[in-house]
């Protein structure tokens, strides 16, 4: 098991009252698995993803990456793992405007990744756009650059937060397929989405509603 | 910590933002460059003023001390006693006067040294001054050889006449024909003591009213320590040690003004840069949030910021120094040199005053961004709650 969460919860204190964004959530992600979390907007999917990736500390329960405690553990460890072992795809592409597509792919990383970044962009069909700036790319192209940024350092697990939220169905399928292929090659992925049409790509399916996570099926085919 | 330092080498180069956003980078570069220009120029001009006064009033005493009678002349036994001293290589009688020249801050005095014509070359050699054109004054004649900077400042040439008769600002009484020009570190004039004595209303006999005392090489300091004691109240010693305090006191306020200008410019520029950088940081919040979310440490982000600002500061410093050199060269060639004022525009000392600019600008800018980085919450930024 690469990643596991047991009874994790995340609460916010607002005006003296406590609001739980996630409560008693448990899940596990194994090597080669694409785990999908389905749910409507505001159900706590993104919050759960932040807990799983160490971007937020859990208010209760624990998240483990392999044997390492991620939630409530050492912040430095969580940060190091985010840099080396985790990849992120956000709802918006968050590309940096003054960097080329290739530079955006390896932003924050060693310059040795530049060659690999170009190859990755070519594999994603952007061979003619490697030196283009974000403003010169279509929305779909930008999202593929953001996807390449999440994959460039060959992370063990990719966290994707609604990566298909603002794209057409054709591109949604394309993005899902890329993540599916990545898992098939030995990676793993936790993907949050509200698009039920994508569930066929998942190995494990969870439903999220009002902060409560429930397992829908171990395999999407079920 | 090592990973934080390594983040400087990561993609993109820390100064890529300013380099590729020239509309934002160039004004900041100019801000630093102009502050360096102001400080370097003020420093160079101040240094030149001080140097000009130093060369004329203090530097002669690096080569010789002077003794001046408390009455009409210095008793001969004192003169003989000094000449026989181990620390004295030679003594030359003299009288002096002065002419006025235009300095950077108004009129400045330049000494006219009247020595026996037979000793003129000897005295000039000891003061590291040489004849550059024309000839030296003839014994007993109202003639004068003047430093080329004085000639330029007064706009006179060999054959022209100087003195109070032609310029009421000059202390040098009468009219003296310029016979030659001198070149060397000390801006001075030389004339014939024999002529001066003819005009002197007192009869000093075999002695003289004043003497230049040339020390044995390397013995100036020890000579100056004992010189006063050897005069027995009959004369006053004028030495490097006695003229230096007056020089320092004269320029104490000038130095203070220079430091005040330096400090003021640096503080203003640092605050301006800090504010501008904070604005830049806020416009780049998502970039910082993204870098933080993928695992760059706050220390790494701060070091990247320091590198970016320091790079800008150093580039601005280089540009400022280059601009200052050009500005000072133009000032020197067009304004000061024709008026006989030498400007030390190539001195590194002037640039040293501007070194705090890039350093303090970097520190101040980094601190303002640092405060923001410490409060950085990548999730809030990614969710657009920034």
**pLDDT at position B117:** 96
Residue B133: pLDDT band by 50, 70, 90 thresholds? very high
Average pLDDT over residues A154-172: 89
Say if the Cβ atoms of B294 and A108 lie within 8 Å.
yes
Q: What torsion, rounded to 10 degrees, do the Cα atoms A82, A88, A93, A94 define? A: -10
The span from the CA of B55 to the CA of B62, in Å, is: 10
Q: Could you say which of B3, B9, B379 has the minimum Cβ distance to residue A55?
A: B379
Say if the Cβ atoms of B291 and A107 lie within 8 Å.
yes
Provide ipTM, 2 decimals.
0.89
Any chain B CB within 8 A of the CB of A48? no
**CA angle, corner B147, sides to B141 and B150, nearest 5?**
105
With respect to residue A106, please indicate whether it lies within any of the assigned structural domains: yes
With respect to residue A118, please indicate whether it lies within any of the assigned structural domains: yes
Residue B1: pLDDT band by 50, 70, 90 thresholds? low
Contact between residue A166 and residue A139 where contact means Cβ atoms under 8 Å apart: yes
pLDDT digits (tens, 9 = 90+) for A66-108: 988 887 767 888 889 999 999 999 888 889 999 999 999 999 9
With respect to residue A25, please indicate whether it lies within any of the assigned structural domains: no
Taken as a whole, chain B contains a residue count of 386
**pLDDT at position A14:** 78
The span from the CA of A82 to the CA of B208, in Å, is: 91
With respect to residue A3, please indicate whether it lies within any of the assigned structural domains: no
**CA angle, corner B7, sides to B5 and B8, nearest 5?**
75
Q: Which residues in B lie closer than 8 A to residue A130 (C-beta atoms)?
A: none
**pLDDT at position A221:** 45
DSSP B210: E
**pLDDT at position B357:** 85
Q: How many domains does chain A have?
A: 1
Give the least confident one: A204-218, B257-271, B323-337: B257-271
**pLDDT at position B386:** 43
Residues 28-47 of chain A with CB under 8 A from chain B are 46
Average pLDDT over residues B304-330: 91
Confidence check: pLDDT of A195 > 50: yes
pLDDT digits (tens, 9 = 90+) for B43-71: 888 888 888 889 989 999 999 999 999 88
- pTM exceeding the 0.80 threshold for the entire prediction: no
**pLDDT at position B358:** 87
With respect to residue A140, please indicate whether it lies within any of the assigned structural domains: yes
Average pLDDT over residues B244-261: 84
The span from the CA of A189 to the CA of A34, in Å, is: 5
Q: What value does the mean pLDDT of chain A take? A: 90
**pLDDT at position B207:** 78
Any chain A CB within 8 A of the CB of B21? yes
Q: Considering chain A, what percentage of its residues have pLDDT values greater than 70?
A: 97
Chain pair A-B, CB pairs under 8 angstroms: 70
**pLDDT at position B356:** 86
Any chain B CB within 8 A of the CB of A206? no
Confidence check: pLDDT of B334 > 80: yes
With respect to residue A136, please indicate whether it lies within any of the assigned structural domains: yes
Taken as a whole, chain A contains a residue count of 222
Q: Could you say which of A81, A98, A108 has the minimum Cβ distance to residue B291?
A: A108
Say if the Cβ atoms of B294 and A82 lie within 8 Å.
yes
- The backbone torsions φ and ψ at residue B295, rounded to the nearest 5 degrees and listed phi first, read 115, 5
With respect to residue A123, please indicate whether it lies within any of the assigned structural domains: yes
Residue A222: pLDDT band by 50, 70, 90 thresholds? very low
Higher confidence at residue B384 or residue B161? B161
**Residue ranges making up the domain that contains A131:** 101-153
Residue B94: pLDDT band by 50, 70, 90 thresholds? very high
With respect to residue A138, please indicate whether it lies within any of the assigned structural domains: yes
**CA angle, corner B171, sides to B121 and B179, nearest 5?**
35
Q: Where are the alpha helices (DSSP H) in chain B?
A: 2-6, 16-20, 22-53, 76-83, 120-126, 148-154, 193-199, 220-231, 240-283, 285-293, 298-331, 348-352, 356-374, 378-382
Confidence check: pLDDT of B126 > 70: yes
Any chain A CB within 8 A of the CB of B379? yes
What's the first-to-final CA gap in chain B, in angstroms? 28
Average pLDDT over residues B343-349: 73
Q: Which residues in A lie closer than 8 A to residue B294 (C-beta atoms)?
A: 82-83, 88, 107-108
Confidence check: pLDDT of B183 > 90: yes
Q: Which residue from A24, A119, A96 is spatially nearest to B285, judged by alpha carbons?
A: A96
């Amino acid at each position: 098991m690469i990643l596991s969460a047991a009874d994790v919860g995340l609460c916010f204190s607002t005006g003296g009252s406590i609001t739980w964004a996630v409560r008693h959530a448990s899940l596990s992600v194994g090597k080669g698995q694409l785990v999908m979390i389905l749910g409507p907007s505001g159900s706590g999917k993104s919050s759960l993803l932040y807990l799983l990736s160490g971007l937020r500390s859990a208010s209760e329960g624990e998240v483990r990456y392999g044997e390492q405690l991620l939630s409530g553990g050492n912040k430095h460890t969580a940060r190091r793992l985010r840099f080396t072992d985790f990849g992120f795809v956000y709802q918006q592409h968050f590309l940096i405007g003054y960097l080329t597509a290739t530079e955006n792919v390896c932003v924050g990383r060693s310059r040795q990744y530049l060659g690999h970044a170009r190859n990755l962009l070519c594999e994603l069909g952007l061979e003619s756009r490697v030196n283009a700036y974000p403003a010169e790319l279509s929305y779909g192209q930008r999202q593929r650059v953001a996807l390449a940024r999440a994959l460039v350092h060959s992370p063990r697990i990719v966290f994707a937060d609604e990566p298909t939220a603002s794209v057409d169905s054709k591109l949604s399928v394309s993005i899902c397929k890329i993540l599916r292929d990545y898992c098939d090659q030995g990676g793993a992925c936790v993907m949050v989405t509200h698009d039920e049409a994508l569930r066929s790509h998942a190995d494990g399916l969870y439903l999220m509603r009002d902060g409560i996570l429930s397992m829908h099926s171990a395999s999407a085919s079920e | 910590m090592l990973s934080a330092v390594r983040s400087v080498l990561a993609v993109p180069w820390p100064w890529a933002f300013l380099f590729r956003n020239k509309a934002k980078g160039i004004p900041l570069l100019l801000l630093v460059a102009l502050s360096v220009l102001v400080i370097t120029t003020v420093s160079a001009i101040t240094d030149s003023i001080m140097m000009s006064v130093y060369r004329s009033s203090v530097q002669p005493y690096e080569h010789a001390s002077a003794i001046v009678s408390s009455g009409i002349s210095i008793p001969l036994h004192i003169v003989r006693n000094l000449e026989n001293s181990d620390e004295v290589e030679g003594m030359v009688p003299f009288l002096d006067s002065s002419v006025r020249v235009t300095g950077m801050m108004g009129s400045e005095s330049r000494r006219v040294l009247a020595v026996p014509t037979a000793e003129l070359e000897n005295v000039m050699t000891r003061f590291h001054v040489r004849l550059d054109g024309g000839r030296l004054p003839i014994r007993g004649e109202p003639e004068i050889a003047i430093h080329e900077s004085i000639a330029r400042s007064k706009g006179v040439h060999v054959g022209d006449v100087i003195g109070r008769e032609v310029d009421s600002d000059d202390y040098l009484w009468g009219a003296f024909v310029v016979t030659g020009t001198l070149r060397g570190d000390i801006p001075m004039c030389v004339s014939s003591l024999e002529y001066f004595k003819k005009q002197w209303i007192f009869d000093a006999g075999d002695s003289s009213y004043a003497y230049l005392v040339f020390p044995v090489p390397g013995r100036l300091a020890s000579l100056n320590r004992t010189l006063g004691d050897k005069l027995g109240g009959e004369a006053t010693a004028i030495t490097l040690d006695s003229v230096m305090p007056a020089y320092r006191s004269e320029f104490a306020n000038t130095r203070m003004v220079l430091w005040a200008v330096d400090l003021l410019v640096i503080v203003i520029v640092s605050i301006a840069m800090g504010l501008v950088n904070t604005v830049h940081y806020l416009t780049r919040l998502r970039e910082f949030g993204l870098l933080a979310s993928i695992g760059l440490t706050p220390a790494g982000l701060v070091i990247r910021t320091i590198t970016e600002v320091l790079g800008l500061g150093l580039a601005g410093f280089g540009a400022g120094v280059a601009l200052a050199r050009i500005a000072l060269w133009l000032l020197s060639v067009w304004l000061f040199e024709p008026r006989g004022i030498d400007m030390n525009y190539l001195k590194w000392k002037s640039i040293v005053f501007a070194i705090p600019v890039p350093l303090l600008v970097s520190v101040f800018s980094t601190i303002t961004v640092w405060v923001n980085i410490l409060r950085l919450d990548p999730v809030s930024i990614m969710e657009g709650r920034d």
